[in-house]
Structure 1
């Protein structure tokens, strides 16, 4: 089965567009590729990078976000990008062991609370816009996060969104500084 495109959405990043699909292209952890070399082992991403102007591919579950270099119009590029997405194989459901493959590690209680807060208040909006974030580390009072997809190159993620995240996590720890890596 091949995924059907249910909708194409603009994102806050003018150089990124989100394709919402009726079928899954992935299960679990999102996949992001920042260049054609990184995408060599992934058929969908490799085919998308073969299209001129594509600079980033990010996908998870029922959506694919494609970022371009800003040197072409989306009206033309979206048609080209839609073809490999329509031709991609739908992801098969993994066995339960594959979903649980990451080892559990004891985490700082502050970090657990921060992740829960971000999962509830920030990540749904970012995912809705075709991006996401991952908490990388909490060293002392410095929380390092990494943006994915449309958020990775969006100017507002480095300003307004980062400030909102910092204000939110300061409800747990008033001295925390949030840094995008």
Structure 2
């Protein structure tokens, strides 16, 4: 088995491609060692002591190094952990489950949405799924919808995209411009 690595726009993150499916549906982000306890793979990566974020996409794993960590030492450790995991065909999540879909719960929403905006929200969701999410996944991350109110779309960047130096530009110039172009009711995009 060969694991490819790709740089991401976030210099602290690398994208690891195991050449096979990682998540069968959805994505999953781990932002602490405690959260990583849900996945033996994420837990092993955090156990290096030099990681602050692990993100599972459809066919990749993004890892964000802690401040001061050197990728020259960390990268071989992460590759070895990934190889061991995928070669052994170990379960991705504790309890043997194959998946851990990360879907925003009601309490993850930043604003209470007006049911009258259902058509606008459906348009936003469609653009996020078809245009934005694939581009963000290409950079080792994902985007989570957190609500729409008074013309403002609330989104959270995940994986390699969270904390990326260009995340503000991605939200304001890329995503906001696209949403405003197709949905006139959208006036702004904010990080949530």
Determine helix, strand or coil for the equivalent of 1:86. helix
Q: What is the count of residue pairs matched by the alignment?
A: 172
Determine helix, strand or coil for the equivalent of 1:37. helix
Structure 1 residue aligned with 2:190: 179
Whether the aligned pair in 2 keeps the contact of 1:15 and 1:67 (CA below 8 Å) is yes
Shift, 1:174, TM fit = 5.0
Give, in whole Å, the separation in 2 of the partners of 1:26 and 1:160.
25
Q: Report Cα offsets for 1:128-169 as digits up to 9, x if no partner.
A: 110010111112211100111000110211224432211111
Shift, 1:18, TM fit = 0.3
The alignment yields a C-alpha RMSD, in angstroms, of: 2.7
- Scaled by the length of structure 1, what TM-score is found? 0.84
Unaligned 5+ runs, structure 2: 105-114
Structure 2 residue aligned with 1:126: 136
Whether the aligned pair in 1 keeps the contact of 2:171 and 2:189 (CA below 8 Å) is no
**Aligned match for 1:136, one of 131, 146, 149:** 146
Shift, 1:52, TM fit = 2.1
Give, in whole Å, the separation in 2 of the partners of 1:42 and 1:110.
36
> Which structure has more helix as a fraction of its residues?
2
- Scaled by the length of structure 2, what TM-score is found? 0.79
Unaligned 5+ runs, structure 1: none
| 5 and 30 in structure 1: CA distance in 2 versus 1, 3 angstrom threshold | farther
User: Which structure 2 residues correspond to residues 1-181 of structure 1 after superposition, within 5 A?
Assistant: 4-88=1-85, 89=89, 108-171=118-181, 172-173=183-184, 175-181=186-192
Determine helix, strand or coil for the equivalent of 1:38. helix
